[in-house]
Amino acid sequence: MAKIAFLGLGVMGYPMAGHLLAAKHEVSVWNRTSSTGARWAAEYKAKACDTIEEVVANCDYVMVCVGNDADVKAVAVPALHAMRKGSILIDHTTASAKCARECGELATTLGIGFIDAPISGGEAGAVNGQLTIMCGGDMTTYQKAEEIMQAYGKATKHMGPVGAGQLTKMVNQICIAGTLQGLSEAINFAQKAGLDVDEVVQAIGKGAAQSWQMDNRASTMGKGEFEFGFAVDWMRKDLQIALEEASANGADMTLTKLVDSYYQDVQDMGGNRWDTSSLIKRLTDK
């Protein structure tokens, strides 16, 4: 059993912290909105702390799951300064590789291990403990962290030094964006051709066109249902991180830039919190 602090109880962090408790770890939490921390503590019969310094004191592991680079620095920096030497901070936020490296450098100077460990699987993956976790950091630290992350991860993989986890998550989001645009056009084509979307998916869903998005979103896309899953605002944040990284490394992101502009269109339609599969709305609402 490890002593763990979990900082950030959003739609992902809230159930993830619960899985750690279910795995028999000693878990305390902190959240910027204290009422959320109090609600988690009441639900799980555990402890919520008022300050970052209090929650991380004497912990073996500190998990962070917040919104963006600025949030990571606002939470991780004071946490690192309050953590004991030899402990490990695991950042599950999807942020930039630069942010991860800066946090990793600070951790090293303080004698603390650091893993950047962005997650994929959405709210359902967090609730069901079925997340995919892409990790950057030294191998010894990763091996210690891996056992803890198994409480909510179905698959964890070490990708390289600090920052490599975030770079891998960028690849993940680039793939999803392109796949969803193709699926949107395909479903819209099927509808205009007078085909039944569900029957089309049954016909092609076991061949080369198959994808997770097709299996899990094609039917709801055909029905115009988007009130679930990974929000457009979050995807645009992630794509901006990837596009900024590409501007530095010279990668051609022609399609990703185009799909990002389409997500802007969805936001302009009021779809900020719609699932990312709502790309199809641009086509069906014409």
Do residues 219 and 197 touch, judged by C-beta distance below 8 A?
Answer: yes
- Give the CA distances from residue 6 to residues 2, 47, 267, in Å, rounded to whole numbers and listed in that order: 12, 11, 31
Q: Where are the alpha helices (DSSP H) in the chain?
A: 13-22, 34-44, 52-56, 69-82, 97-109, 122-128, 139-149, 164-192, 197-204, 212-223, 232-249, 254-268, 281-284
Rounded Cα distance between 6 and 31, Å, is 9
Residues forming the active site:
169
DSSP 197: H
Rounded Cα distance between 189 and 54, Å, is 56
Beta bridge mates, 63: 6, 90
Instruction: Enter the tokens of residue 100.
Output: 């991860």
Instruction: Enter the tokens of residue 157.
Output: 């993989």
In order, the DSSP letters of 39-92 are: HHHHHHT-EE-SSHHHHHTT-SEEEE--SSHHHHHHHHHHHHHHSPTT-EEEE-
Instruction: Tell which residue, 181, 218, 221, has the closest CA to residue 203.
Output: 218
